[in-house]
Amino acid sequence: MKAKLILSLFVLALVSGSMADTVIGDFEDGSYDGWWTGWGTVISPVQSYATLGAWSMKADVTDGGWVEPMEVAILDRPDGAKLQNALATIGQVKVDVTTFFNEAEGYSWGAQLALLVNCEGKWEAYDYKDLTNGAAESLVFQLPADAMAAFGAASIWANIGFISNSAGTVSHIDDITGETIIDFQGGAIHYFDNIQIVVPEPTSLLLLGFGGLTLLARKR
C-alpha cells in the first residue's frame, strides 16, 4: 500500500510539472495580439509597466464604473482548439496588471478586476479580484465548472476578456449658474501584460488517467 501511495504522489507531481502556460498577450513591438477594445475604455500598446519584454497594453478607463477594457476571441487563434480545450479542462487564466485609480475620501471604493467570458453570446464575469493602487500584481483567475463546460461546448464564440470596476464620475449642478460641476473624476488606467492560459501537455492527460487507475487499485 505504501508503494502505491508513493506512486500516486509521483504521478501527481509529474502532472503538475507537465502543465504549460501559453502566452496570448505580451504585446511586443506594439502588437495587439488579437485583443480589441471592449466598452468604456481605450486600449493601446505602450512601453511602460511591462513584466514580459518591453511592451504592455494600456487600458484607459475614463469615467469609471463597470467597463470591459479588452477582449480576445479564442477560436480565431491558430492554436484556438488547444486553448479551448485548456479552458474547458483546467480553466485558468493568468495576467500581470498594474493599475492606477483615483482616490478620494467618500468617493472612491478602489478598483476590481474579473475575468469576463463570452460563450455563444452569453456574458458572465468570474473570480473578482481587488486591485492595489500603483502595484504590479500577478493574478490567476479560475473558471467554475459551468463556465469550463460552456467553453468545451462552444463552436462559434468562445471569448475571454477582463471587466474592471472603479469609482465613476460624481458631479452636481450649480444652483446659480446651472453648470455641471465635477466633484470627483473616477476611472482607472490598467497596464496588462503576460496574459496566459494554462494548457495541459499531452503527457499530463495520460498521467492523470494512470493516476486515476492507481487510486482505484488502492481502493480495491
Give me the sign of the Cα torsion angle 195, 55, 130, 74. negative
105/210 same-domain check: no
41/93 same-domain check: yes
Task: State the total domains in the chain.
Answer: 2
pLDDT score recorded for residue 32: 97
pLDDT digits 0-9 by tens, 83-134: 999 999 999 999 999 998 875 555 556 688 999 999 988 999 999 999 998 9
Report the mean per-residue pLDDT for the chain: 81
73/3 same-domain check: no
Side-chain half-sphere CA neighbours of 18 within 13 A: 15
CA dist 187 and 103 (Å) reads: 10
87/99 same-domain check: yes
Find the length of the chain. Answer: 220
Give 141 or 3, the one with higher predicted confidence: 141
66/161 same-domain check: yes
Phi, psi at 121, each rounded to 5°? 85, 0
Report the range of poorest mean pLDDT among 69-78, 108-117, 164-173. Answer: 164-173
> What does the block give as the cell for 50?
511591462
63/168 same-domain check: yes
Q: Does the pLDDT at position 180 exceed 90? A: no
pLDDT score recorded for residue 56: 98
Domain containing 189 equals 19-200
191/216 same-domain check: no
14/29 same-domain check: no
CA dist 133 and 45 (Å) reads: 21
CATH number of the domain that 100 lies in?
2.60.120.260
Which residues contact residue 165 at a Cβ distance below 8 angstroms, ignoring those fewer than 6 apart? 64, 65, 66, 67, 111, 112
SS3 116: strand
Give 63 or 214, the one with higher predicted confidence: 63
Strand extents, DSSP E, the chain = 19-25, 36-37, 42-46, 56-61, 65-73, 92-101, 111-119, 122-131, 136-142, 158-166, 170-173, 180-184, 188-200
208/112 same-domain check: no
Q: Does the pLDDT at position 147 exceed 50? A: yes
7/111 same-domain check: no
172/209 same-domain check: no
Residue type at 171 in one-letter notation? S
Report the range of poorest mean pLDDT among 16-25, 56-65, 99-108, 118-127. Answer: 99-108
192/145 same-domain check: yes
Question: Structure pTM?
Answer: 0.78
CA dist 47 and 179 (Å) reads: 39
